[in-house]
């Protein structure tokens, strides 16, 4: 039996392309900050990417969780069809640049001491965030794309995967607030 044509919505490729185009900006800004050896620009890149990433996760975990619970299944799937490609490249880019720029900042400010309990704590939080991002978020996004491309997608599975990502964003937000507390301690001491 021949597989049927893709049922991905026509706007999916546009949203993915937009996500990729926006997702390229943070790494380019990081490269510019590092090439220019600009502490100011590196700090800006770290704060804007980290703040945007954290704000997005707080919004998803607090607001979108409640909204999605109130929607019927087909409407949840319609949200997932747009949300997944829109965030697919942007969020990993923000996260990776926030973490990388944070490490460079700590090194530039002579605070990257691997024997410091604060740096170790930050490292543990970053490892958890990274494992969640690349071990759960991204695979769920790919699974949503695969399911959407089927002739008869399982809308229940799509809704569950999307809801799992939205709830996990709330967990990420808590971890990001924790790392902000750690960074505040490092900045003062």
CA 146 to chain centre: 20
Q: Could you give the maximum distance between any two Cα atoms of the chain, in Å?
A: 66
pTM greater than the 0.85 cutoff: yes
d(CA 85, CA 87): 6
pLDDT per position as a tens digit, 39-98: 999 999 999 999 999 999 999 999 999 999 999 999 999 999 899 999 999 999 999 999
């Amino acid at each position: 039996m021949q597989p049927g044509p893709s049922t991905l919505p026509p706007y999916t490729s546009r949203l993915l392309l937009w996500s990729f185009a926006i997702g390229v900006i943070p790494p380019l800004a990081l490269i510019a900050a590092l090439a220019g050896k600009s502490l100011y620009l590196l700090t800006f890149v770290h704060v804007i990417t980290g703040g945007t990433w954290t704000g997005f996760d707080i919004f998803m975990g607090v607001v979108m969780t409640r909204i999605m619970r109130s929607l019927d299944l087909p409407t949840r799937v319609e949200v997932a069809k747009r949300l997944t490609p829109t965030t697919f490249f942007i969020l990993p880019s923000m996260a990776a640049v926030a973490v990388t720029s944070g490490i460079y900042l700590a090194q530039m400010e002579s605070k990257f001491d691997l024997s410091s309990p604060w740096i170790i704590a930050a490292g543990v939080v970053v490892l958890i965030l990274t494992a969640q991002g690349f071990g759960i978020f991204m695979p769920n996004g790919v699974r949503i794309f695969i399911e959407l491309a089927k002739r008869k997608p399982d809308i229940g599975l799509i809704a569950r995967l999307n809801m799992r990502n939205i709830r996990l964003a709330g967990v990420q937000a808590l971890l990001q607030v924790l790392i902000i507390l750690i960074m505040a301690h490092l900045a003062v001491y």
